């Protein structure tokens, strides 16, 4: 008898698990990649927006005559020109497309102009005469929550209240620590400004090219406000210059289409940096009151928390942010008893919504600060206290949900604890010291601190939402070689989802040549590039579609070749059988009859939270990370230099390891920003710093080396076992840095971003 | 007004330029060179970095009129024929490109640094690129890219 042929698997390049270069990389380095702000069309007009200078006012009258009389202006629009639904919103359509009676935040859109030069449009926008009755803005979320506060919306001022009652509500503890914490308003500060180009098709329909995170939710809102059937609104993703949550809500979309439909000409809109600060939602500022109770041996007994998130003028995604803040309010710890009240509240401040970490960021700063405070009260090492209480697989969340799949919290912590510490700063090179070349110290007054933090959050959409993605895969033969075409509506925002789709197709179909088509609304929804979900969901859809294509290919091969070969499988681009080895190539079987399949991927079902107790299996999966920060602090001046960030994160499976590292490093930079410098400063509802001169994001001088330890433990429910990677790096990096600052200074530091004043003790808190 | 200048070796001109237009606007919107980016248009982010008569400048801070007769090199002018410039190659290899909006400016700034100092230390790289914001990468892979590009020259 002949020994069975041992099939050597064909070498597959560029598949899942490799650091594949991104297909859009070459045009991006050459300056040839078309971002939404780069678009241009023959005969194009420029749009501009007239915005309210007041955080709260009643509109008495709007007079567009002078604006319309401005040279080169083609049209001026107000709320009267919105043909369909006059308001929009992802969860609650409470935000006017153009304000008609009240304005509820500074920068709210009231009128639109199109002109044939952007400067003419801007000037005309300034000439729309709006008479306002100015009202006192309601800017304090606690005041807005209080009985008798004036209602900012017909539904009242509470956008959502999540109430969690878990375990024994009377539980008592041997050691109790309490704390009040604050998180400032962070901006996503993507670099590519909000922009897009709308082109009327001459038959009442419109094509929009825009940067966004979720094409189909834009489509729904556009169709409703333009009063067009969805088939008459076609949206194509233009190049996106970063997102981080800020492109979930609409910005220019409806406005640009209104102007284009009105003038019958292509219209481009593009915000400048200042307008961008008014043109998208921000991270919710938060006030958090916490009480932790523990036994003397360090075991947590209970957590009580009251969390108030300032949602600003409109709901945006506040309802979901609020749920996240509540669900993840106790951290990745075993907490048997919890009493949590989280509120998202309307005020006259700028609207807040999605930003990387989505509600889990604010609470992580508070609960990790509490863990350090508790460690101090118990005189236990803060790492040991965390290890003692760390969640593991099978743990019960405060929502009653069991944590399935890997939850390597103690392991992640151990890894960052055991990572070698960086060497001391070099007093001879001032560039390595706080203050750098400002030459503020040569090492005197500088102290080093080390801090730790753990964080976690959900992957994907929660609370019963049937989240899905759609992908179409087509296998054909081009010039004698097999080629795969992948189409989905997944937004490539920089994270690399185009690369991942390509890698999956290569792995599943063994074909080297893969083309990912531009994302648009001609295919079903892929959902949002948010909640760390897109690789999982669209990856899953592409995988499903590839599997369906493969099944048809093998079926066709079996029909052609007959039964003699037995069971056929695909190995690289060859069709093989156990007995005969390679029996045909993909090209032989496909010939000139391409195989095409469209499939959806749905994640497993989740359930709502019980409105009274906040209990329920609301989440699909959880992702965990640990951070260790090492900082040098100039104790006299309050200047800080972060020396190194060490992190460990379970990503399930790194589909593209280099891209995973990029997410980790970039996420940490945003966490560092929140810890030390990033805050939209608001006074009486007005933004004081809408520019990169005054709103600081980390530069290459601020960002330390990152030591990243990536675990791949594999989630049994996910394609390839992958978990989302985008958000965890941002969540616990902030509290780790603040813990390190406390270690160096001994100060309480209960607010982020930490200011130099807080470090030197001008904040009025005792050390 | 009318403006004539040399861009990436070719003479170009634009008519009807309004006096308030920046060089960045004219490059991007009138002359078909959108490679230089416009993340802030106030000199804070470096995404619009170009060479103007051999000096690295923020094109958003130069009035178009000031560039009359000047010699401009943009990111579109770095690659020779089909090949990427070694600095572009290094950014790609190192994984320093995510959304890529900062990339053209960073590539110009890296090009300028390496012309000045072929083998910079990490501290020198950080200093040279401190005027270029990137919101996606955390700069770690940008440092890798510059090191890689420097190595390629050694
Ligand atoms: S656009 Fe010129 S520096 Fe930002
Ligand atoms: S890659 Fe997105 S800003 Fe740098």
Mutation choice for A interface testing from B82, B98, B147 by most A CBs within 10 A: B98
State the pLDDT at residue A3. 41
A621 and A555 Cβ atoms separated by less than 8 Å: no
Do residue A190 and residue B125 have CB atoms under 8 angstroms apart? no
**Same CATH topology for B3-78 and B86-153?**
no
A88 and A250 Cβ atoms separated by less than 8 Å: yes
Residue A323 DSSP symbol: H
Here the tokens at position A243 are: 């997102």
Do residue A30 and residue B39 have CB atoms under 8 angstroms apart? no
A173 compared with B80, residue with greater pLDDT: A173
Do residue B42 and residue A22 have CB atoms under 8 angstroms apart? no
Instruction: Please name the residues between 2 and 41 in chain B that touch chain A, using a CB distance below 8 Å.
Output: 18, 20-21, 28-29, 33-41
Do residue A241 and residue B38 have CB atoms under 8 angstroms apart? no
Question: Å from A203 to nearest chain B CA?
Answer: 28
Which residues from chain B sit within 8 angstroms of residue A270, using beta carbons?
A: 38
Give the distance (Å) from ligand 2 centre to CA of residue A494. 7
Do residue A30 and residue B88 have CB atoms under 8 angstroms apart? yes
Q: Which residue of A has its CA nearest to B21?
A: A119
Q: Which helix (H) or strand (E) holds A324?
A: helix A318-327
Here the tokens at position B118 are: 């072929």
B47 and B104 Cβ atoms separated by less than 8 Å: yes
Interface size, chain A vs chain B, as Cβ–Cβ contacts under 8 Å: 183
State the pLDDT at residue A2. 43
Which residues from chain A sit within 8 angstroms of residue B18, using beta carbons?
A: 117, 119
Ligand 2 neighbourhood includes B134 CB (under 6 angstroms): yes
What's domain B86-153's superfamily in CATH?
[2Fe-2S]-binding domain (1.10.150.120)
Here the tokens at position A572 are: 């690289």
State the pLDDT at residue A341. 98
Give the distance (Å) from ligand 1 centre to CA of residue A240. 17
The 10s digit of each residue's pLDDT in A65-108 is 999 999 999 999 999 999 999 999 999 999 999 999 999 999 99
Before A195, cis peptide (omega within 30)? Answer: no
Average pLDDT over residues A24-30: 97
Question: Å from B142 to nearest chain A CA?
Answer: 9
Do residue B44 and residue A659 have CB atoms under 8 angstroms apart? no
**Ligand 1, CB within 6 Å, residue ranges:** B 38-41, 43-48, 58, 60
Do residue B76 and residue A192 have CB atoms under 8 angstroms apart? no
Nearest to A38 among B34, B78, B95 (CB): B34
Mutation choice for B interface testing from A700, A705, A729 by most B CBs within 10 A: A700
Here the tokens at position A235 are: 């949206």
Q: How far is CA A402 from CA A328, A594, A619, A622, B52, in A?
A: 14, 45, 10, 11, 61
CA proximity to A433, closest of A704, A718, A56: A704
Do residue A703 and residue B140 have CB atoms under 8 angstroms apart? yes
pLDDT surpasses 90 at A9 = no
How does DSSP assign B67-133, residue by residue? Answer: GTT-EEE-GGGTSBTTBPPHHHHHHHHHT--SS-SSHHHHHHHHHHHHHH-SS--HHHHHHHTTT--
Residue nearest to atom 4 of ligand 2 (CA): B134
The count of other CB atoms within 10 Å of the CB of residue A422 is 15
Lowest mean pLDDT among A8-12, A432-436, A586-590, B20-24: A8-12
Ligand 2 neighbourhood includes A192 CB (under 6 angstroms): no
Q: Which residues pair with A474 in a beta bridge?
A: A485, A596
Give the distance (Å) from ligand 1 centre to CA of residue B123. 23
pLDDT surpasses 90 at A429 = no
Do residue B138 and residue A666 have CB atoms under 8 angstroms apart? yes
Percent of chain A scored above 90 by pLDDT? 94
Which residues from chain B sit within 8 angstroms of residue A733, using beta carbons?
A: none
Which residues from chain A sit within 8 angstroms of residue B72, using beta carbons?
A: none
State the pLDDT at residue B43. 97
State the pLDDT at residue A426. 78
Atom of ligand 1 lying closest to residue B46 CA: 3
CA A432/CA A331 separation, integer angstroms: 34
Residue A53 DSSP symbol: S
The 10s digit of each residue's pLDDT in A193-216 is 999 999 999 999 999 999 999 999
CA A107/CA A542 separation, integer angstroms: 41
CA A333/CA A403 separation, integer angstroms: 11
Q: Which helix (H) or strand (E) holds A119?
A: helix A118-125
Do residue A700 and residue B101 have CB atoms under 8 angstroms apart? no
The 10s digit of each residue's pLDDT in A476-514 is 999 999 999 999 999 999 999 999 999 999 999 999 999
A524 and A489 Cβ atoms separated by less than 8 Å: yes
Lowest mean pLDDT among A8-12, A227-231, A311-315, A687-691: A8-12
Residue pointed to by tokens 């270029």: B132
Average pLDDT over residues B59-84: 95
CA B109/CA B104 separation, integer angstroms: 9
Residue pointed to by tokens 């961008």: A276
In sequence order, which ranges of A186-294 are alpha helices (DSSP H)? 215-226, 253-263, 273-279
Do residue B18 and residue A119 have CB atoms under 8 angstroms apart? yes
The CATH number assigned to the domain with range B3-78 reads 3.10.20.30
State the pLDDT at residue A580. 85
A399 and A162 Cβ atoms separated by less than 8 Å: no
Give the distance (Å) from ligand 2 centre to CA of residue B97. 7
CB of B69 within 8 Å of a chain A CB? The answer is no
Ligand 2 neighbourhood includes B151 CB (under 6 angstroms): no
Domains and CATH numbers, chain A: 25-33+468-602 (3.30.365.10), 36-136+212-269 (3.90.1170.50), 401-458+620-767 (3.30.365.10)
b/e per residue A479-518 (b: at least 16 CB within 10 A): eeebbbbbbbbbbbbbbbbbbbbbbbbbbbbbbbebebee
Give the distance (Å) from ligand 1 centre to CA of residue A688. 20
The 10s digit of each residue's pLDDT in A524-559 is 999 999 999 999 999 999 999 999 999 999 999 999
Q: Which residue of A has its CA nearest to B35?
A: A31
Atom of ligand 1 lying closest to residue B49 CA: 2
Do residue B100 and residue A33 have CB atoms under 8 angstroms apart? yes
Pseudo-torsion of CA A209, A211, A212, A214, nearest 10°? 50
A531 and A730 Cβ atoms separated by less than 8 Å: no
Residue pointed to by tokens 């950014």: B91
A438 compared with A389, residue with greater pLDDT: A389
CA A545/CA A523 separation, integer angstroms: 13
Residue A693 DSSP symbol: T
CA A400/CA A336 separation, integer angstroms: 10
Ligand sitting nearest the alpha carbon of B47: 1
Instruction: Please name the residues between 49 and 68 in chain B that touch chain A, using a CB distance below 8 Å.
Output: none
According to DSSP, the β-strands at A468-478 and A481-488 are: antiparallel
CA A48/CA A44 separation, integer angstroms: 13
Which residues from chain A sit within 8 angstroms of residue B134, using beta carbons?
A: 191, 700
CA B107/CA B104 separation, integer angstroms: 5
- Long-range contact list for B15-19, CB < 8 A, 24+ apart? B17/B64, B17/B65, B18/A117, B18/A119, B19/B63, B19/B65
Residue A386 C-alpha from the chain's centroid: 27
Nearest to A703 among B107, B136, B139 (CB): B139
CA A161/CA B65 separation, integer angstroms: 57
Which residues from chain B sit within 8 angstroms of residue A241, using beta carbons?
A: 37, 39, 99-101
- pTM of the model as a whole: 0.97
Q: Which helix (H) or strand (E) holds A304?
A: strand A300-312
Our separate counts of H helices and E strands in chain B read 5, 5
State the pLDDT at residue A5. 40
The 10s digit of each residue's pLDDT in A574-633 is 999 988 889 999 999 999 999 999 999 999 999 999 999 999 999 999 999 999 999 999
Residue A142 C-alpha from the chain's centroid: 27
The two most distant CA atoms of chain A are separated, in Å, by 96
Contacts of A423 (CB under 8 A, 6+ apart): none
**Candidate of B75, B102, B140 to mutate for ligand 2, largest count of ligand atoms within 8 Å of Cβ:** B102
The 10s digit of each residue's pLDDT in A40-69 is 999 999 999 999 999 999 999 999 999 999
Domain extents in chain B: 3-78, 86-153
Ligand 2 neighbourhood includes A191 CB (under 6 angstroms): yes
pLDDT surpasses 50 at A6 = no
Q: Quickly state the pLDDT bin for B81 (edges 50, 70, 90).
A: confident
State the pLDDT at residue A484. 98
Ligand 2 neighbourhood includes A200 CB (under 6 angstroms): no
b/e per residue A306-315 (b: at least 16 CB within 10 A): bbbbbbbbbb
Atom of ligand 1 lying closest to residue B41 CA: 1
Ligand 2 neighbourhood includes B136 CB (under 6 angstroms): yes
The 10s digit of each residue's pLDDT in B94-149 is 999 999 999 999 999 999 999 999 999 999 999 999 999 999 999 999 999 999 99
Q: Which residue of B has its CA nearest to A38?
A: B34
Residue pointed to by tokens 């900012």: A152
CA A754/CA A521 separation, integer angstroms: 43
Contacts of A266 (CB under 8 A, 6+ apart): A41, A42, A43, A44, A45, A197, A198, A199, A200, A260
Give the distance (Å) from ligand 1 centre to CA of residue A111. 28
Residue B91 C-alpha from the chain's centroid: 13
Q: Which residue of B has its CA nearest to A497?
A: B98
Mean pLDDT, chain A, rounded, equals: 96
CA proximity to A732, closest of A406, A313, A368: A368
């Amino acid at each position: 008898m002949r020994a069975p042929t041992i099939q050597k698997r064909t070498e597959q390049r560029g598949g899942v698990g490799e650091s594949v270069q991104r297909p859009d990389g070459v045009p991006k380095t050459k300056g040839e990649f078309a971002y939404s702000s780069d678009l241009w069309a023959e005969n194009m007009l420029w749009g501009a927006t007239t915005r309210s200078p007041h955080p709260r006012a009643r509109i008495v009258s709007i007079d567009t005559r002078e604006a319309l009389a401005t040279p080169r202006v083609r049209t001026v629009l107000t709320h009267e020109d919105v043909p369909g639904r006059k308001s929009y919103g992802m969860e609650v359509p409470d935000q006017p497309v153009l304000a008609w009676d009240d304005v509820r935040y500074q920068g709210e859109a009231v009128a639109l102009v199109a002109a044939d030069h952007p400067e003419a449009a801007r000037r005309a926008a300034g000439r729309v005469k709006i008479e306002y009755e100015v009202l006192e803005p309601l800017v304090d979320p606690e005041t807005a929550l209080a009985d008798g506060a004036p209602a900012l919306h017909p539904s009242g001022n509470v956008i959502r209240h999540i109430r969690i009652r878990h375990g024994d509500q009377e539980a008592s503890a041997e050691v109790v620590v309490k704390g009040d914490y604050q998180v400032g308003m962070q901006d996503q500060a993507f670099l590519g400004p909000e922009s897009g180009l709308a082109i009327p098709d001459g038959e009442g329909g419109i094509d929009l090219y825009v940067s966004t995170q979720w094409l189909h939710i834009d489509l729904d809102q556009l169709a409703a406000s333009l009063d067009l059937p969805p088939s008459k609104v076609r949206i194509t993703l233009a190049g996106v210059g970063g997102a981080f949550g800020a492109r979930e809500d609409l910005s220019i979309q409806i406005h640009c289409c209104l102007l284009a439909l009105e003038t019958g000409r292509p219209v481009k809109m593009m915000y400048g940096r200042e307008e961008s600060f008014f043109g998208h939602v921000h991270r919710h500022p938060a006030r958090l009151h916490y009480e932790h109770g523990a036994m003397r041996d360090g075991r947590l007994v209970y957590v009580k928390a009251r969390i108030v998130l300032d949602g600003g003028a409109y709901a945006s995604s506040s309802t979901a942010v609020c749920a996240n803040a509540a669900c993840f309010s106790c951290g990745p710890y075993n907490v048997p008893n919890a009493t949590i009240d989280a509120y998202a509240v309307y005020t006259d401040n700028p609207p807040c919504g999605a930003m990387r970490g989505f509600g889990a960021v604010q609470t992580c700063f508070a609960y990790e600060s509490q863990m350090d405070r508790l460690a101090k009260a118990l005189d236990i090492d803060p790492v040991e206290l965390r290890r003692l209480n760390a969640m593991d697989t099978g743990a019960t969340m405060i929502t009653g949900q069991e944590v399935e799949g890997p939850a390597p919290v103690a392991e992640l912590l151990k890894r960052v604890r055991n990572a070698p510490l960086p060497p001391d700063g070099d007093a001879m090179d001032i560039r390595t010291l706080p203050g750098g070349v400002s030459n503020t110290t040569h090492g005197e007054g500088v102290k080093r601190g080390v801090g730790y933090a753990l964080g976690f959050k959900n992957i994907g959409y929660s609370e019963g939402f049937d989240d899905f993605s759609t992908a179409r895969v087509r296998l054909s033969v081009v010039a004698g070689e097999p080629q795969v075409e992948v189409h989905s509506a997944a937004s490539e925002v920089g994270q690399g989802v185009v690369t991942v789709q390509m890698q999956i197709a290569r792995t599943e179909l063994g074909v080297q040549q893969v083309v990912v088509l531009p994302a648009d609304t001609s295919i079903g929804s892929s959902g949002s590039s948010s909640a760390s979900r897109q690789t999982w969901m669209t990856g899953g859809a592409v995988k499903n579609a590839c599997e369906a294509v493969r099944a048809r290919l093998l079926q066709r091969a079996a029909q052609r070749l007959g039964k003699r070969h037995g069971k056929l499988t695909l190995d690289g681009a060859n069709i093989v059988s156990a007995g005969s080895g390679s029996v045909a190539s993909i090209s032989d079987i496909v010939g000139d009859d391409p195989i095409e399949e469209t499939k959806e991927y749905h994640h497993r079902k989740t359930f709502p939270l019980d409105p009274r107790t906040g209990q329920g299996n609301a989440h699909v999966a959880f992702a965990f990370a640990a951070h260790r920060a090492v900082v040098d602090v100039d104790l006299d001046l309050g200047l800080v230099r972060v020396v190194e960030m060490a992190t460990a994160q379970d990503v399930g499976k790194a589909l593209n390891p280099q891209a995973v590292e990029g997410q980790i490093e970039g996420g940490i930079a945003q966490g560092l920003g929140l810890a030390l410098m990033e805050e939209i400063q608001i006074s009486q509802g007005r933004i004081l710093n809408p520019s990169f001169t005054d709103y600081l994001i980390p530069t290459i001088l601020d960002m330390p080396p990152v030591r990243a330890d990536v675990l791949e433990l594999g989630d049994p429910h996910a394609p390839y076992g992958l978990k989302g990677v985008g958000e965890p790096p941002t969540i616990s990096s902030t509290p780790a840095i603040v813990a390190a600052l406390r270690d160096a200074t001994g100060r309480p530091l209960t607010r982020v971003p930490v200011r130099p004043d807080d470090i030197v003790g001008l904040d009025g808190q005792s050390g | 007004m009318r403006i004539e200048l040399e861009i990436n070796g070719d003479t170009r001109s634009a008519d009807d330029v309004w006096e308030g237009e920046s060089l960045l606007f004219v490059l991007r919107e009138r002359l078909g060179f959108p490679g230089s980016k416009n993340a802030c248009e106030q000199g804070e982010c470096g995404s619009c970095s170009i060479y103007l008569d051999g000096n690295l400048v923020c094109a958003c801070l130069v009035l178009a009129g000031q560039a009359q007769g000047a010699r401009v090199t943009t990111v579109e002018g770095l690659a020779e024929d089909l090949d990427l410039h070694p600095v572009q190659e290094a950014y790609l290899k190192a994984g320093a490109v995510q959304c890529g909006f900062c990339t053209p400016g960073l590539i110009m700034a890296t090009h300028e640094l390496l012309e000045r100092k072929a083998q910079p230390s990490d501290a020198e790289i950080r200093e040279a690129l401190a005027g270029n914001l990137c919101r996606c990468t955390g700069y770690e892979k940008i440092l890798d890219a510059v090191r890689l590009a420097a190595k390629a020259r050694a």
